Amino acid sequence: MNPVLKIDSTIILHNLSELKKLTKKYGIEMSVVTKGLVGYEPLVRLLVENGADSICEAHIQNLIKFKDLPAEKWMIRSPLLSEVPDVVRYADVSVVSEKTVIEKLSSEAVKQNRKHKAVIMVELGELREGCMPDEILPLAETCLSLPGIELYGIGANLSCVNEIIPDEKNMTVLSDAAHDIERTFDVKLPVVSGGSTSTVRMLEEGRLPERINHLRFGEAVLFGTIACYDVPFIGARTGAFTLSAEVIEIKEKPSVPWGERVPAVLPVASDPAYKDQGLRKRALIAVGKQDIRSEYMIPLDQNLKIIGDTCDCLIADVTASDKEYKPGDTVSFFILYHGLVTAIASDFVDKALV
């Protein structure tokens, strides 16, 4: 059988409810980042039905899938120029950092007789998307001067590439940028979006500047954890996603491979990655890199050790396990956020929403 990704919706909806209570306590709006679900509509629909009134996606194809869901829809990767017509048609909000993108959104919004909301992204050190400080006011002026565009606010992205965490210093920079725009152009920005799941720690401790009024949560809702810190937020539940796969083979084999390797590669005998432990019981399991990488999998059987993986199977040492595995048995794993992205997208993984 195919590997099965089991999704416990009660855990996810609990986390959504807890985060909504937390944000409400501080007068902050939240959007649910659903991009990690790779367009899996049954769960996204369930989130919307249970209080996710704003969702964020990085691919317009997913927002097209969700066009009938009654939620505000964000494109949280700046629109590609080639997809602007669909973005204006199917998204309510876009994050932007380039003048040419804003101009194209304006032109298309006029053509479609729509109003499109723009959130200017500000670079705070993560070195992902975002304009530099001297670009903020000119981009705001561009948004305010063009037809079909509403300057909806400003935002920032942290903790994705270089794991720069939100703190009082960078959140104050964002807050001050909002005040600068408002003073310069005599406007009120509806949204100052202070980041994503890594901001939960500051929110819990009441340390966010008052001007931050919006956050975007993905990992915290789906996994109950705070990005970068790798700990649950207060009141969270974890373990919503488990993956089960079938055992193909159980054999006792030497712990060190033998034979010749490519000459440029370190000889097996000299390779510190291989420690001779004698014969070990090994399980070949029917899930591989084409579905999920093994570093994003945590065995429920704590005595099972993942040795490695190929494109279509995983190899585990089950010598210390209390269970006598045999071909046809299933092995289950908790999966991490980056593993979900590939597992839920794989045509070779069945999904079970429970």
Asked whether 332 and 300 are in contact (CB, 8 A), the reply is: yes
35 is catalytic: yes
Please compute Rg for the chain using Cα positions.
24
Residue among 52, 101, 102 nearest 72 (CA): 52
User: What's the first-to-final CA gap in the chain, in angstroms?
Assistant: 19
Q: Distance between CA atoms of 1 and 348, rounded to whole angstroms? A: 10
In 3D, which of 139, 55, 160 has the Cα closest to residue 96? 139
User: Which string of DSSP letters, residue by residue, matches 125-138?
Assistant: SS-SS-B-GGGHHH
Token pair for 212: 């931050």
Q: Where are the strands (E) in 133-289, listed by range?
A: 149-155, 191-193, 214-217, 225-226, 231-232, 241-254, 279-285
Catalytic residue, chosen from 6, 35, 281, 305, is 35
DSSP character string of 157-184: --SSSS-PPP-HHHHHHHHHHHHHHHHH
Alpha-helical segments (H) within 50-98: 60-65, 84-90
User: In Å, what is the CA distance from 286 to each residue of 173, 199, 330?
Assistant: 49, 37, 9
**Side-chain-facing half-sphere of 46: CA atoms under 13 Å:** 20
**Among 330, 250, 279, CA closest to 2:** 330
C-alpha torsion sign, points 32, 37, 42, 43 = negative
**Which residues are registered as beta bridge partners of 250?**
283
Which residues neighbour 81 within 8 Å (Cβ) at sequence distance 6 or greater?
A: 100, 101, 104
Task: Report whether 288 contacts 315 (CB < 8 A).
Answer: no
Annotated catalytic residues are 35
